[in-house]
Amino acid sequence: MRDRIKNLLDKIEQVNIENAEQAEQFRLEFLSKKGELNNLFADFKNVLNEDKKEIGALINQLKEKGQAKYENLKEAFASNNAEEENKDDYTKPGYPYQLGALHPLMITRQSIISIFERIGFTVASGPEIEDDWHNFSALNFPENHPARDMQDTFFINEKFALRTHTSSVQVRLMENGKPPFRSLMPGRVYRNEAISARAHCFFHQVEGLYIDKNVSFADMKQTLLYFSKEMFGEQTKIRLRPSYFPFTEPSAEMDVSCFICNAKGCNVCKYSGWVEIMGCGMVDPAVLQNCGIDANQYSGFAFGMGIERIAMLKYRVNDLRLFSENDVRFLKQFQAADE
């Protein structure tokens, strides 16, 4: 029995295995129920009692060596197979990768920025959590202004709130630099409003600011006319209606001629032929003074529009909530607009 065990041990150590099939043959020959090792255990009953302890230890040693060799071979060949599978096969056809697309709000934002960049505007950004000075006071909001009320603003504490407009970035820009300024401020803003097809508690704005010497209302009108024609088509006309904003004087709401019905009247323009898209006006001298700019030397205009508003008009979307619900069926419709 000792010689038999020794011969099997030498055979296990010397056997040459080159592939997974030969490893499986090794298992069947030595480790299976009908293999050599199992035959040894079957013949163990014939060993003399005084030799059983020694022979049993030798058989267990043989078993451990055989199983260890098989496990090592199995792991090595599995690793080799994985490497082979991971190798690039350049004869295979290409995989049909699913490509994503930009969000419709991002497409609209980039279009707006691109138009204004062509006439010298740069992009500025600022924090979404703002203090009272940058969000309200510097922009000429009186202490009792309705926009300060909890109905409109998400207050974090007595000092800070989620910004209600990107005008706060204009304040930071004017405080930290020197005129002239010609910048856009795109970003997300927050209002404490009920969510519906036409309103949401967060949305996106693009505001613009132009400060320099001798800037007039006519400069603002020509700038916004240029934008409207580039965004909605060469045939687009604009209309400025008197309005009120604390940070501009005079202030105006700007409408564009309805590009859906060619100003003939439809349900989008409420049969008026005009669609409101933004507010604008000349920067109030008080705001300039609050930001450390000499209102006797400099003047300027500011404007602001909702990106969702422009996207809804441009892509005929009738529910504001669709932009934030991440419905893939809705988003896939904009793949062509992204190209």
Answer yes or no: is pLDDT of 12 > 70: no
Percent of the chain's residues with pLDDT above 90? 53
Rounded mean pLDDT, 29-45: 66
Rounded mean pLDDT, 102-108: 92
pLDDT of residue 47: 64
For residue 260, what is the DSSP state?
Answer: T
299 DSSP β-pair partners? 212
Answer yes or no: is pLDDT of 58 > 80: no
- Whole-angstrom distance, CA of residue 291 vs CA of residue 261: 43
Q: Which of 47-51, 93-97, 304-308 has the lowest mean pLDDT?
A: 47-51
- Whole-angstrom distance, CA of residue 103 vs CA of residue 322: 11
pLDDT of residue 79: 67
Helices 217-232 & 307-315, crossing angle to 10 degrees?
40
Amino acid residing at 90: Y
Rounded mean pLDDT, 168-197: 94
Rounded mean pLDDT, 156-172: 93
Helix (H, G, I), strand (E, B) or coil at 326: coil
Q: pLDDT confidence of 248, banded at 50, 70, 90?
A: very high
pLDDT of residue 26: 67
Q: pLDDT confidence of 184, banded at 50, 70, 90?
A: very high
pLDDT of residue 238: 96
- CATH 3.30.930.10 is right for the domain spanning 104-338: yes
Whether the CB-CB separation of 56 and 2 falls below 8 Å is answered with no
204 DSSP β-pair partners? 188
Contacts of 320 (CB under 8 A, 6+ apart): 196, 197, 198, 199, 200, 203, 308, 312
Scored b (16 or more CB within 10 A) or e, 285-302 reads bebbebbebebeebbbbb
pLDDT of residue 91: 79
pLDDT of residue 33: 64
- Whole-angstrom distance, CA of residue 109 vs CA of residue 112: 5
Residues 100, 102, 103: CA angle, nearest 5 degrees: 115
Domain ranges (residues) in the chain: 2-86, 104-338
pLDDT of residue 43: 63
Helix (H, G, I), strand (E, B) or coil at 299: strand
For residue 70, give the nearest of 119, 37, 105, 114 by alpha carbon: 37
Q: pLDDT confidence of 52, banded at 50, 70, 90?
A: low
